[in-house]
Structure 1
């Protein structure tokens, strides 16, 4: 009988189940009134008295192992049923605050919102630019100070590739690909070869505006700037 108990113990410890129905089938097989463990307990009555203590302990241990194993299988399957297979468990919970927005982003968004109410759209361009869009298309003379190495970050020569020194290069790109009317703002980061101090840095943020249309005059410019300042 000890051999039967040990064999059944090893079998129960190795069982697996793919769904709740299979767990229930295992419960019936081992723990029901006609199950294998119940059958062993019925045979226990015929065991000699001197063996009852040892076999009784082993039968109780076997029943406990079977009960805990089936309960663990059921719990694992129930938990897996509640988890969406497409759910990314590494994502941060939505209600968790992740900090605040940078002051520069807040100011830029406020400026964009003001100009949007005036009908301006946003235009953006690369921060690494060529000479044509930064200087030549805007009629910068060959000897203009902005073209000097001490003022501008040059990445390559012939052709000249630079870190843009203003967002006017975005205006050049927009005018190359669009016909008037044009009403845009060009927010972005620009670079200038300056010593970093409490007053200056090698990059800063800039917003330029371009308005090209018929019957547009300095009165429109003045009124736009006045509206922006008041806002």
Structure 2
């Protein structure tokens, strides 16, 4: 093969490489020229039959042609890689003229805002804040609160149970109210000050609220199977219904920032208080003005409940109340459907940040 033939071979390789549109096509073209059965390989094998002097000359010419073909192959590989990268960059391109994506500042859930406000108000009145388990024993949830098994007052509350049994053989429940924490707190209080009582000193007052999640089978625009409740307890010497009215009236007027808010105590029944009353409020201005709205249940703690707390009802009296934090949040923020609090709609929640 002459030098002109080698030059033609290089041109043919360059043309074949240029027409290869993909890396796979390029590798197929390469095999025709520098592969094991390629044309350059065949020429290198034919050198063995040539005289020594001619072998050197022809070998150098063939090697020069091979280098030119490999250079053309490398250049084409780079071109295909650059083209593929350009397509990838185009597909993943960013419009730098768009505004940047900033992480929005988060905020507390409206119910949590209401809970914090409730805790702060009662803390200013000297109330402690108690916390406890959401899975409770039957005794703490009902029996200790003067609500024994088969009592009709249980029908709307003993609704969620778990596969854990207490020592009495009755399954544990998802607490329907935070009242069990009143009993738990009282027991801890009595134990804490037992030595002081033995020494003849009076038992310090119990003044506590118990906020937290509670559970009942109930679901509509103003009720949820899971809801938040705040219960309060004040026990001491000569703590009366009058104190209840003063404390809860002051709380409501502070929470809603309305000094002309009116409260009404309607006679009712709860097994754990006697006498008992529902508490209604009435706004004097705004979209809800003139309507009586129920916000809490309350009453003087029943003597049996005081005994179950480890205290003597002849020496200690007091009141208890329970209010829904979700309900108070709805009234404070003007929300007319409780379910909006728990649907996770960012558009709704963002306005409370």
* Alignment TM class, shorter chain as reference: 0.5 to 0.7
Q: Residues 127-138 of structure 1 correspond to what in structure 2 (within 5 A)?
A: 127-138=134-145
* 1:223 to 2:249 alignment: no
Point out the structure with the larger strand share: 2
For residues 152 and 226 of structure 2, what CA distance do their matches in structure 1 show? 18
For residues 153 and 200 of structure 1, what CA distance do their matches in structure 2 show? 16
- Aligned residue in 2 for 1:182: 206
Which SS does the other structure have where 1:206 is aligned?
strand
For residues 217 and 160 of structure 2, what CA distance do their matches in structure 1 show? 6
Output the TM-score relative to the length of structure 2.
Answer: 0.36
Q: Residues 54-69 of structure 1 correspond to what in structure 2 (within 5 A)?
A: none
Contact 1:145 1:151 in 2 (8 A): no
For residues 123 and 157 of structure 2, what CA distance do their matches in structure 1 show? 37
* 1:120 to 2:127 alignment: yes
Root mean square deviation, CA, Å? 2.2
For residues 221 and 150 of structure 1, what CA distance do their matches in structure 2 show? 25
For residues 105 and 227 of structure 1, what CA distance do their matches in structure 2 show? 21
Aligned residues: 136
Deviations 1:194-221 (A, max 9, x none): 2x33332111111110101113111211
* 1:172 to 2:183 alignment: yes
For residues 159 and 207 of structure 2, what CA distance do their matches in structure 1 show? 28
TM-superposed deviation, 1:159? 2.9
> Any gaps of 5 or more consecutive residues in structure 2?
1-102, 191-203, 255-353
For residues 147 and 252 of structure 2, what CA distance do their matches in structure 1 show? 30
- Aligned residue in 1 for 2:226: 203
Which SS does the other structure have where 2:210 is aligned?
strand
- Aligned residue in 2 for 1:61: none
Deviations 1:113-171 (A, max 9, x none): 11011000100110000101001111103222454598510113523200000100001
For residues 224 and 175 of structure 2, what CA distance do their matches in structure 1 show? 15
Which SS does the other structure have where 2:133 is aligned?
coil
TM-superposed deviation, 1:172? 1.0
Taking a change above 3 Å as real, the CA distance of residues 160 and 109 of structure 1, as seen in their structure-2 partners, is same
Among candidates 208, 212, 217, match of residue 193 of structure 1: 217
Deviations 1:37-92 (A, max 9, x none): xxxxxxxxxxxxxxxxxxxxxxxxxxxxxxxxxxxxxxxxxxxxxxxxxxxxxxxx
Taking a change above 3 Å as real, the CA distance of residues 176 and 106 of structure 1, as seen in their structure-2 partners, is same
Output the TM-score relative to the length of structure 1.
Answer: 0.54
> Any gaps of 5 or more consecutive residues in structure 1?
1-95
Contact 2:182 2:210 in 1 (8 A): yes
Which SS does the other structure have where 1:178 is aligned?
helix
Contact 1:134 1:165 in 2 (8 A): yes
